[in-house]
Structure 1
């Protein structure tokens, strides 16, 4: 990256730069020895042209085309929705091409950073020691929350003493009036959540007459996790609140015997997520996650990337990092399957970015995707996961889920992530079933919303990437070892399920 005090050029091939601060009309800016004069006021995070473009010419950022010029663009012009549009269409016949990064994963020797976590009986590691109550259906969602609240009151002493980290219910509106693959998806997400290592014990709370029957849900839970699961059908119970309380109390007593122990970085499975992105997300926060993801993958841990619609336009470079042809084919099929999901609804695959993204300086889906995939660093792509599947192969995993914050973050937790790293340029208070580390892409957000944000990635611009990486790793290890995220401290924990079918 080359930068002046006003703009930043991400890649040597880029034909645009990003304004690091508002640029006045007529202001002269210099990057890589090239001088351009701003034609109009250019807002922070927005793009200024470094080269002339004719109509139809590709505009390049991150070294990748992010769309085509819809009008003539002169050096110094503001480049945005008025003169830049997507070039995305439909499905693509991807071709595997050899890439240096598609090498085998280095052996993890267990050296390096350590953290304090819980080693479960199945060998997986947890960052939290909690009891989760998962309703099979929306009809008992409020009951599940009532059970959790009263249990938190009963066991406040154990929580305060650090013997357990909490008792939480995750309500949702689904589980009935669903058919086929749609019901299967709900069941898979709940089964994955039940298997998450952060839940030392799980109560599956059913109603009794729902489509998502308890026996089928239990059968969907991986074998290694079923021993920690208890179930209760509310219609079959006498006093369901009393019976649920007794089951929770027994799980709390068992969980309270667990002790944190020193664990290697390789024991972590971490979700990578962005939401409310801006023009800085791909410059500061997402590359910060990418460098951590590279370090985690190299150590033998599992970084998990999702939000498939938000890699459209940048997927070829990601797929070329696949460790073998089967993984490449699985990733390509996943991307095209998601594009077909859009096309079957009569929608363009480029129906993105959001209004907030656009206001923050992102113009096309290609631009958003090129910034979003920075979260995955340069690690080889080791596995491709269906929605609800478990991450188990060391190295970068690509997970099927949409871009919606709550849906994709829940999918990451269902895949086994014990932390979610969530970058944002616009900000959001919401957290998810596992500790959600909010990473601001710009200082203005970090200073305005300290009750939302855990880490300010903009320090990479002032102090350099090495300093930012060291501070970020220290913060993540502290969270993994028990320090609450801001979202946890404010009770911001929720889940959402990907609803795809008809409702009866």
Structure 2
């Protein structure tokens, strides 16, 4: 196994693939150097002396500048370099994309749920949605009733542990409590024996709908409309108080924009018109049950891979993300695009520094101009409150080698592969063009994943180097570790280990093909992801303020 790596020929830093102690001799391209400090795995060290203000180059792009003299063989840190990027401008080039060979998948299908509008789902869910936080308790009442009544409730593993501890306490056995060893049981996604063709009823609890700006309410309605319109959803039950900013009429307008035929059942119940709470909830439960009877009639059928829409996401990233999991996912995206499918790359603060490459990859002037406009507005909004994209990396990112936002971004962008950008979507806009789409979201894992699914992703590929449990209520989230150690340490959240890329056992292309095969099985319901098994249903709408 190599102990270090140069990612791009123009880079003036190398990545340590394992811990390298002070004094390690490095031989690279005819240059001999000695490490002057310990370099932890995933961190970077310099190939030459870097004078103050000298550029630091990784992935072939500017990712920072030296704050002070950095000696040859010295590890780069938040102290000796600062974030910096190359300015971007209008489209000044284009790419000649060489699509990968996809002949062995040409006639492949997945087993999906066909919808009347032509979309195909990878799951079949019913939604229950509050228009405002005032209805969250009522949604909780329906959730308890349906999950227990239909068998969708998760296992009560921890309830049993508490009961055991209570019994020990009542018997006065404090020593038994100290020595108590719970039995670990692998959770599984539960299915209903009543409605075997329904994967579950999902409840999109949120804290919005009123009290914020009208723009927040409109964005929330647009996001909820995207979920109702989604290929993985058979229909929805809506609970409204009545007086909130997020009016049902705004949701209905957003739904009609997505699907003018309005052929998906949406049941609306408004508390301020319903009299007693008991009457409203009882009626909502009865009508929802009747709708589930119809939704259960939808069965999986063969569908072309072009009906897949993959979200490309990362969270808890590390210094290996940009050289293992992210480029592997990027190759999967290229394969799907070549097959006529759709992929969505989001997290705009994590595209900082690679804007010009993406601008030049846009296949239209309109798309490139929209990307420039959104990126500049987002950065300006962050700066107006004393922040900026440079503050995006988390303490965990920095600790594991992502020293500047530009380093993080250059690696994160690898999830988008190499294909042309066919469209640029603002937050809540739905993906309608096959190919690679750019979607404006924050870098926040859950806000971004929630948005990708709201824009149509029916499977999400989520890379992580530190371990992030993020899931989604309606789309399966496939978790990919960037390194083998993480996959071994947190097997209950990791679906695919891309660590063999780091060890040299597998190529990026081979891993990308394996990921596509896993996606097909997941989309067909043959594989239930770890996030689904854990009932990890994360959903956070983005208030269009500053979130990085």
TM-score (norm 2): 0.86
Q: Is the 8 A contact 1:110 1:264 kept in 2?
A: no
Q: Is the 8 A contact 2:102 2:335 kept in 1?
A: no
Q: Deviations over 1:274-333 (max 9, x none)?
A: 111110010101101110111111111110011111111111111110001111111111
CA distance in 1, matches of 2:389, 2:197: 48
Match of 1:425 in 2: 465
Return closer, same or farther for 1:127/1:33 CA change in 2, 3 Å cut-off: farther
Match of 2:269 in 1: 232
Return closer, same or farther for 1:299/1:350 CA change in 2, 3 Å cut-off: same
SS where residue 282 of structure 1 aligns? helix
Match of 2:237 among 203, 206, 210: 203
User: Are residue 62 (structure 1) and residue 59 (structure 2) matched?
Assistant: yes
Match of 2:83 in 1: 86
Return closer, same or farther for 1:105/1:300 CA change in 2, 3 Å cut-off: farther
Return closer, same or farther for 1:61/1:193 CA change in 2, 3 Å cut-off: same
Match of 2:192 in 1: 159
Number of residue equivalences: 497
Match of 1:348 among 388, 395, 399: 388
User: Are residue 487 (structure 1) and residue 531 (structure 2) matched?
Assistant: yes
User: Are residue 474 (structure 1) and residue 469 (structure 2) matched?
Assistant: no
Deviation at 1:405? 1.1
Deviation at 1:144? 1.5
User: Are residue 446 (structure 1) and residue 487 (structure 2) matched?
Assistant: yes
Match of 1:43 among 31, 40, 51: 40
CA distance in 2, matches of 1:14, 1:454: 32
Match of 2:452 among 390, 395, 412: 412
Q: Is the 8 A contact 2:324 2:498 kept in 1?
A: yes
Unaligned runs of 5+ in 2: 153-190
User: Are residue 457 (structure 1) and residue 498 (structure 2) matched?
Assistant: yes
Deviation at 1:197? 1.1
Match of 1:172 in 2: 206
CA distance in 1, matches of 2:283, 2:103: 46
Between structure 1 and structure 2, the one with the greater Rg is 2
CA distance in 2, matches of 1:247, 1:8: 60
Return closer, same or farther for 1:321/1:356 CA change in 2, 3 Å cut-off: same
SS where residue 410 of structure 1 aligns? helix
User: Are residue 139 (structure 1) and residue 182 (structure 2) matched?
Assistant: no
Q: Is the 8 A contact 1:179 1:501 kept in 2?
A: no
CA distance in 2, matches of 1:427, 1:233: 41
Match of 2:410 in 1: 370
User: Are residue 28 (structure 1) and residue 25 (structure 2) matched?
Assistant: yes
Deviation at 1:453? 1.1
User: Are residue 249 (structure 1) and residue 289 (structure 2) matched?
Assistant: yes
Deviation at 1:176? 0.8
CA distance in 2, matches of 1:105, 1:95: 28
Match of 1:496 among 514, 519, 540: 540
User: Are residue 95 (structure 1) and residue 90 (structure 2) matched?
Assistant: yes
Q: Deviations over 1:17-50 (max 9, x none)?
A: 1111111111123344543322111111100212
User: Are residue 185 (structure 1) and residue 219 (structure 2) matched?
Assistant: yes
Deviation at 1:184? 1.5
Return closer, same or farther for 1:241/1:348 CA change in 2, 3 Å cut-off: same
Unaligned runs of 5+ in 1: none
SS where residue 13 of structure 1 aligns? coil
Deviation at 1:228? 2.5
SS where residue 326 of structure 1 aligns? helix
CA distance in 2, matches of 1:331, 1:56: 29
Deviation at 1:213? 1.4
Deviation at 1:100? 2.1
CA distance in 2, matches of 1:263, 1:490: 28
* Range that drifts further, 96-105 or 128-137: 96-105
TM-score (norm 1): 0.93
Match of 2:334 among 274, 285, 294: 294
SS where residue 366 of structure 1 aligns? helix
CA distance in 2, matches of 1:75, 1:112: 53
User: Are residue 437 (structure 1) and residue 478 (structure 2) matched?
Assistant: yes
Q: Is the 8 A contact 2:312 2:343 kept in 1?
A: yes
Q: CA RMSD in A?
A: 2.3
CA distance in 2, matches of 1:57, 1:470: 39
User: Are residue 124 (structure 1) and residue 119 (structure 2) matched?
Assistant: yes
Return closer, same or farther for 1:473/1:127 CA change in 2, 3 Å cut-off: same
Match of 1:305 in 2: 345
SS where residue 159 of structure 1 aligns? coil
* Range that drifts further, 24-33 or 67-76: 24-33
Match of 2:361 in 1: 321
User: Are residue 216 (structure 1) and residue 216 (structure 2) matched?
Assistant: no
Return closer, same or farther for 1:109/1:328 CA change in 2, 3 Å cut-off: farther
Return closer, same or farther for 1:113/1:244 CA change in 2, 3 Å cut-off: same
Match of 1:19 in 2: 16
Deviation at 1:187? 1.5
* Range that drifts further, 427-436 or 233-242: 233-242
CA distance in 1, matches of 2:75, 2:4: 12
CA distance in 2, matches of 1:220, 1:309: 27
